Each structure stands twice: as C-alpha cells, then as structure tokens.
Structure 1
Amino acid sequence: MDTYSALNTTLVKLFNQIMGIERKCLITEEFKDISTNDMHIIECIGLDRPKNMSSIAKQLGVTVGTLTIAVNGLVKKGYVHRRRSEIDRRVVYISLTEQGVAAYRHHEAFHQEMIAGITDHLNEQERELLAGVLERLNEYFQKKYEQ
C-alpha cells in the first residue's frame, strides 16, 4: 500500500474508531439520557465561570439556534443551568449543574485514559513529534474546512 492510501485508510479508520469508542465509553448507565454530542456541549461549557450561548456556539461550530435546542434538553435533564444577564437580557449564560459536572468529569477521564494509553509507551521525543504532527493536521483541517 502506498503512503497516500495508508494515510487515507488510517485517518478514516481512526476517526470512526474514536467516535465509536467514545460513544460506547461515555454513554454509561449513569449518563444514558444524553448523547456524545451533549457530552461535547458539556465539555465546552466547562467548569469555569458561566459562558454565553454565542461563545459556546462559536466554539462548537454551530448556530445559536442549534445550540439552544440542545441546551433546552440538557436543562430539562438537569445537566445545565441557564441564566439571563442582569446587564443585557438578550445574553444568556450557561453553567453546569452538579450532574453536569459529573458528566464533565466522566468525559474528561475518558480523554485522559485515551491519551495515556496512546502515549505511555512513547518516549518524550516521540510524544512531542506526535503532538506536533497532530497539531499540524488539526491546523490544516481548520484552515481548509472551517472558514
């Protein structure tokens, strides 16, 4: 197999495997009422101070309308709080509930375990090389497809 074919096959398989593994590992009995997409919204909201809907939508690459539908579900399920700004009532701030923080930590642990599994057998130079190659790959996709 030539380099082009090997890279193409590997990238496609890797993407599909990560998505499938993430789906299986994240949606446990405790979090069976949410999707991996919901988990990514929870991850984007994060543990810091509340974020406004516009910044979350921008980070996720979706419209505020699309995000609103998903956040409505997360509010109903008890993962997210929604609060209007005191200064500008048009601005809506989102933060995680205790249940949302638990989901965030679950997702974070999955990623930490995944990265540890990938890098534990690499030396420091190999880790840096892998990080650099993946960073350049990410930059390419951002420039090419997220404009």
Structure 2
Amino acid sequence: MNQINQKLNSIVSLVNQLDARPKTFGTDVKLTGTDIHLIELIGDNTNAGVTGIAKLAGVTKGAVSQKLKQLEKKGIIAKAEDPENLSRSLVSLTSKGKVAYFAHKHWHETMDGGFNRYYNTLTKEKTETIEEFLGKLEKLLAGLLAVEK
C-alpha cells in the first residue's frame, strides 16, 4: 500500500508541475494549464457566455471573468455582445486562440496516444481493475472536496 501511495503522490506532483509550467502552444504568449483548459472549453463550446463557461469549468463566474480578461489582453479570446441578449457577452477564440487550441489538442493526441497504445495491450481483467481503482479514488477525492466546502 505504501508503494501505491508513493506512486500516486509522485503522479500528482508531476501533473501539478506540468500544469504549472507555462507553455506557448504555438503562440507568442505563455499560457498556464488553467489558461489552456479554459481555451479548450471555449473552443469546444463556441459562442458560450461567461456564465456557461464558469459552469462548464466548475468555478465561479468571477474567477472565469478574471481569467478571460487576462486571455483577452494576450489576444487569445474576444468578447462580443450577444445580439439576442444584450446583457450577455459571448466568448470566442481569436486566430491566436485557435492556434493554441489546436496545438493543445495535438499535444493531447501525442501524449494520450502513447498511453493508449500501452493501455490497449492490457488484458480486460487488468483494465477493469485499473478502472475500478481509479473510480474509487475519484469518489474518495470528490468526497474530500465536498467535505472541505
């Protein structure tokens, strides 16, 4: 059990380091993991409003608004008034934002591809065990977050 905990802690640490390290994703600006995942949400949900993006991201509207202002200053996103609802702003990717969006998609295809090739070599029993373990871990962590709120 101790070895599993050490591996999980190591994985969490590595993911946090990767997420914290800014990357350019083919643009001339540095983007954090939070930035690029917000860009991904916007790219996957065209013409979403700030409230909709906040719901998708699972964060407050204020937190999303702050990040969107930063991304707008970097030339990654543009906001426009919704012609059907003047109190709502629609958020879209600029051409620079689209470059980052597609570079991030490509990064995931490359990174996920190597893992998927390995995963596809595993027996059904092994994949079921892994999926069961990860599901239980996910529920445990979600429960801890719910208690802390």
TM-score scaled to structure 2, two decimals?
0.77
Provide closer, same or farther for how the CA distance between residues 70 and 131 of structure 1 changes in structure 2, counting only shifts above 3 A: same
Counterpart for residue 134 of structure 1: 134
| 2:99 is aligned with 1:102 | yes
Structure 1 position 143, deviation (Å): 4.4
Q: Which of these residues, 37, 41, 44, is aligned with residue 40 of structure 1? A: 37
| 2:80 is aligned with 1:80 | no
Cα-Cα RMSD: 2.6
Percent of aligned pairs sharing the same letter? 22
Counterpart for residue 61 of structure 2: 64
Asked whether the equivalents of residues 25 and 103 of structure 2 are also in contact (C-alpha less than 8 Å), the reply is: no
Q: Which runs of 5+ in 2 are unaligned?
A: none
Deviations 1:60-84 (A, max 9, x none): 2221111111101111211111122
Structure 1 position 29, deviation (Å): 6.8
Alpha-carbon distance in structure 2 between the residues aligned to 1:45 and 1:86: 19
Q: Which runs of 5+ in 1 are unaligned?
A: none
Asked whether the equivalents of residues 47 and 101 of structure 1 are also in contact (C-alpha less than 8 Å), the reply is: no
Provide closer, same or farther for how the CA distance between residues 28 and 41 of structure 1 changes in structure 2, counting only shifts above 3 A: closer
SS in 2 for 1:69: helix
| 2:112 is aligned with 1:115 | yes
TM-score scaled to structure 1, two decimals?
0.78
Alpha-carbon distance in structure 1 between the residues aligned to 2:131 and 2:110: 16
Structure 1 position 111, deviation (Å): 1.8
Give 2:58's aligned amino acid: G
